[in-house]
Structure 1
Amino acid sequence: MQENYLAKWLNNELTEAELSEFKKSDEYASYIRISEVSKQLKAPDFDADNAYENFKNAQDFHETKVVPLRPFKSFLRVAAAIAILLAGSYFFLNTLDQSYSTQLAERTEVQLPDNSQVILNADSQISFSEKKWTKERNVELDGEAFFKVAKGKKFTVSTASGTVSVLGTQFNVENRTDFFEVTCYEGLVSVLYNNKERKLPAGTSFLVVNGKVMDDTAIKNGQPSWVNNESSFKSIPLKYVLAEFERQFNVKVETENINDNQLFTGSFSNTAIKIALESISTPSKINYKLEGNNVLFYGENTP
């Protein structure tokens, strides 16, 4: 990243090309976090005149000695501002989380403080407290990620849908709108969903689609197909397949005269869009039209 990108970003002076490159940098997520927290800091009310009067009444003044106190009033204002900044800095530094995210059609790998590894799928984000890591190995996830956890104390992945707990294993977690799936590839995984715990040995999955709980199987000692640039599905409603297609290729998908709740079993390439389109449309018996970054899937009888 260019050294002057931060200053130009703060002044809204980055070109579109520079902004795009800046967003790909490791530092960008941290700067966004700092910016958001800074906006939440609010200075408490401070009455300098009242403070001055209290100070004056506490002193033993003599009529023959005149002491100009205007500079002291200015000093009080400065001291208050410094105190607020110090308090805000302490609050920020002690609550700051490390955060990593991916954009559409993007993937990244993250190494955690204990050398555990995380591979983030497209349009996903994780955050964790590095300061508290030795006491609590907890990662917050929004999206999808594959975890290779180093052995040690309990390791948890917190999502809006449920919590996953392990000691040392390999597993995948996907948390999207109305879609929650945990797959264990090695070791044993505990899933807490709706206050009920489910144990997943290697080779099993826990899947919730639109509130319906389903069990599935997986390949032991393997890894999710998306890590190898392929998205795979087994009896999943078509609308979730199309949503993943959007994320992997950064396109806008529209549908016309098709049943997007029909179940889809199959896979598509995450690197070749035309092959992916054929892989989705052919088994689903639907048509498609690709124009720039827009894709229309439509039924056989669409006028």
Structure 2
Amino acid sequence: MIKNDEMDRLLRYLANQSSYEEMRNVQLWLEKDPKNRSQFEELKKIWLLTPDNLNWNTDSEWANFKNKIEAQQEISNESAPQSAAEKSINSSYIPEYRPSLLESLSFYFRRYSFALTIVLIALIAGYAGYNYFNSPVGNSSDSIIWNEKITLAGEKAEILLPDNSKVILNSESKLRYPNSFSGNSRDIYLTGEAYFEVRNSNDRKFNVHSAGFSTTVLGTKFNVSAFHDEEIISVSLLEGKVKITPENENSNDTKNARSSTILSPNQQWVYNYNNKRSEINSFNHEKAIGWKDNIIVFENTPLIDVFKKLERIYGVEFRSEGNFKNKNITTKFNGDSIWLVAEVIKKTTGLNYKTITKNNLPGTFIFY
């Protein structure tokens, strides 16, 4: 059963309203126990089944959704099958069918979807009427419909935004963007890594919100890397000019960052969440942005970091049997197969490897 504090954290994560620190805590919780990931996947399916996939912007909506889940969990626990001893006493015992949490809530939403729809229409109409008479003319931010694109390990995605700006989303990343841009800015939200080619718009800035920072541009080409399980966030600029600003200067994650940083072409801004310090340097274009063209560059990179990146790109697991913290790799891959990658690591490090297959495909590479 998911605890209250964990439920709050997971719901904020699903709603893309978590801080960077909360996202890291969720990732650690998922990796701690396979049961945690199983519970999260079921909760995610329930979240996607909510009527109209609503945004939960008030405390009452959060509490309402959470209470429904907790109630279903209690019902499931109360309806647990009899023990082995009870079964032996009751010879006519027939195992009781116990619907899963997902099945129960799916039934709930199907059964009451019409009533919920009527209530929601009334609420939305009232809220829209209030805004019409109490908001400035032309303010249509409340009518924005948001899209969300999530990539899994081993896959990338190319997205064309409403202003015809292009985004290439790296593996294990998430991009949230509106159906159309309105107002004086173009705002999107990123977790993970993406490459951007932004269409110039003299009157509307383009803002990428990621891991507690916003990167603001007018028209340019740049890369943002902000994975929730890494201590480093970076912005690499190819063309144009960008400004990087902490979104909350009082946050523990960004408290030592400058109020704003402006980059020129061929500069890379790097912020370390451990020591809370940032720096600006020139950078290797292939190392920072080559991933979008299937180019992977390692320069004296620790083996543990090499494995993490390869897992994300190829969608397979890499493990080591032994302590290889002092093993570093310098090499380059250009669209190579996973088998060639494993052989290069073997020759570069002097290690051997074995594989565990899954559905006749390599699922895990173990180096020893």
Give your verdict on TM over 0.5.
Answer: yes
1:94, 1:104 → 2: CA distance? 33
Correspondence list, 1:117-136, <5 A: 117-136=166-185
Superposition deviation, residue 128 in structure 1: 1.7
1:189 corresponds to which residue?
242
1:118, 1:99 → 2: CA distance? 13
1:175 corresponds to which residue?
226
Correspondence list, 1:154-303, <5 A: 154-176=205-227, 177=229, 178-193=231-246, 194=254, 195-196=257-258, 197-208=260-271, 211=274, 213=278, 215-218=280-283, 224-260=289-325, 263-292=328-357, 293-298=363-368
CA contact under 8 A between 1:249 and 1:273: conserved in structure 2? yes
| Bigger radius of gyration | 1
1:221, 1:254 → 2: CA distance? 26
Change (3 A) 1:276 1:215: farther
1:85 corresponds to which residue?
120
Change (3 A) 1:170 1:128: same
- Counting aligned pairs with the same residue, the percent is 26
1:291, 1:297 → 2: CA distance? 12
Letter aligned with residue 226 of structure 1: W
2:55, 2:210 → 1: CA distance? 25
Letter aligned with residue 211 of structure 1: N
Superposition deviation, residue 36 in structure 1: 4.6
Which of the pair is proportionally richer in helix? Answer: 2
CA contact under 8 A between 1:185 and 1:223: conserved in structure 2? no
Which of the pair is proportionally richer in strand? Answer: 1
2:161 corresponds to which residue?
112
Change (3 A) 1:262 1:101: same
Superposition deviation, residue 189 in structure 1: 2.1
CA contact under 8 A between 1:164 and 1:191: conserved in structure 2? yes
2:350, 2:281 → 1: CA distance? 25
Aligned-partner SS, 2:233: strand
CA contact under 8 A between 2:162 and 2:181: conserved in structure 1? no
Superposition deviation, residue 172 in structure 1: 0.7
1:150 corresponds to which residue?
199
2:297, 2:286 → 1: CA distance? 17
Which of 97, 103, 106 is the matching residue for 2:146?
97
2:273, 2:342 → 1: CA distance? 25
Of 199-208 and 167-176, more deviation after overlay is shown by 199-208
> Could you give the per-residue CA deviations for residues 118-156 of structure 1, whole angstroms, max 9, x where no partner exists?
001111110023355443211100111100001112111
Change (3 A) 1:34 1:258: farther
2:288, 2:319 → 1: CA distance? 31
TM-score (ref. length: structure 1)? 0.65
Change (3 A) 1:209 1:33: farther
1:112, 1:215 → 2: CA distance? 29
Superposition deviation, residue 34 in structure 1: 6.1
Aligned-partner SS, 1:227: helix
Change (3 A) 1:296 1:82: closer
> Could you give the per-residue CA deviations for residues 42-74 of structure 1, whole angstroms, max 9, x where no partner exists?
59xxxxxxxxxxxxxxxxxxxxxxxxxxxxxxx
Letter aligned with residue 244 of structure 2: V
> Could you give the per-residue CA deviations for residues 247-289 of structure 1, whole angstroms, max 9, x where no partner exists?
1111122222233475543333455101222333433443332
> Could you give the per-residue CA deviations for residues 7-66 of structure 1, whole angstroms, max 9, x where no partner exists?
xxxxxxxxxxxxxxxxxxxxx9x96786653895859xxxxxxxxxxxxxxxxxxxxxxx
Change (3 A) 1:121 1:260: farther
Change (3 A) 1:137 1:85: same
> Could you give the per-residue CA deviations for residues 157-191 of structure 1, whole angstroms, max 9, x where no partner exists?
11114221111110011111223121111112222
Of 30-39 and 192-201, more deviation after overlay is shown by 30-39
Superposition deviation, residue 246 in structure 1: 0.7
1:104, 1:137 → 2: CA distance? 28
